[in-house]
Amino acid sequence: MGCQSCSTMACGVPTGCGSNGDCQTGGCNKLNAFDWLGDMDLPSSQRFNIIEIKFKGGRKGYFKNTHHLETYIGDPLVVDTGNGHHIGHVSLQGDLVRLQMIKKNIEDDESILSILRHATPKDLEKLAMVKNREIPTLYKTREIIQDIGLEMKLSDVDFQADNSKATFYYSADDRVDFRQLIKVLASEFKIRVEMRQISLRQEASRLGGIGSCGRELCCSTWLTEFKSVSTSAARYQNLSLNPSKLSGQCGRLKCCLNYELETYIDALVDIPMIDKNLRTQKGEAQLQKVDIFRKRMWFSFQGETTWHAISTERVEEVSRMNAKGKFPETLEEDIEEKAPAFQEQKLSSVLDKQPLPQKKKKKKPDNRQKSGQNNPQNKRKQHPQNKKGGNQKTGGQGPQQKANPNKKGNNPQKGNKNQVPSNNPQNQKKKDGPKRPFKPNFKGNKRRKKPNNNDE
Q: For the domain that residue 166 is a member of, what is the CATH number?
A: 3.30.300
Mean pLDDT by 10 residues, the chain (456 residues): 46 48 48 67 72 88 90 90 90 87 88 92 92 93 92 92 92 89 92 91 88 89 86 89 89 92 89 86 87 89 86 88 87 55 52 59 56 50 47 45 48 47 49 54 51 50
Residues 101 and 152 in one domain: no
Backbone φ and ψ for 391, nearest 5 degrees, come out as -80, 130
Within 13 Å of residue 107, how many CA atoms lie on the same side as its CB?
Answer: 3
pTM over 0.85, yes/no: no
Question: What amino acid is encoded at 152 in this protein?
Answer: M
Rounded to whole angstroms, the Cα distance separating 280 from 164 reads 79
pLDDT digits (tens, 9 = 90+) for 389-413: 444 444 444 444 444 544 444 444 4
**Residue 411, in any domain of the structure:** no
**Residue 107, in any domain of the structure:** yes
**Residue 434, in any domain of the structure:** no
pLDDT digits (tens, 9 = 90+) for 340-365: 444 455 555 655 655 656 656 556 56
SS3 label, residue 139: helix
Residues 111 and 155 in one domain: no
Residues 45 and 70 in one domain: yes
The parent domain of residue 47 ranges over 31-128
Domain limit, last residue, from 87, 107, 128? 128
**Residue 387, in any domain of the structure:** no
Domain count, the chain: 3
Domain limit, last residue, from 323, 340, 359? 323
**Residue 41, in any domain of the structure:** yes
**Residue 455, in any domain of the structure:** no
pLDDT at 140: 94
192-197: strand order across its sheet:
153-159, 165-171, 192-197
Residues 35 and 104 in one domain: yes
pLDDT digits (tens, 9 = 90+) for 65-119: 988 888 888 899 999 988 889 999 998 888 889 888 998 888 888 889 999 999 9
Cross-strand pairs, 196: 169
**Residue 414, in any domain of the structure:** no
pLDDT at 368: 55
Domain limit, last residue, from 170, 204, 238? 204
**Residue 264, in any domain of the structure:** no
SS3 label, residue 100: helix
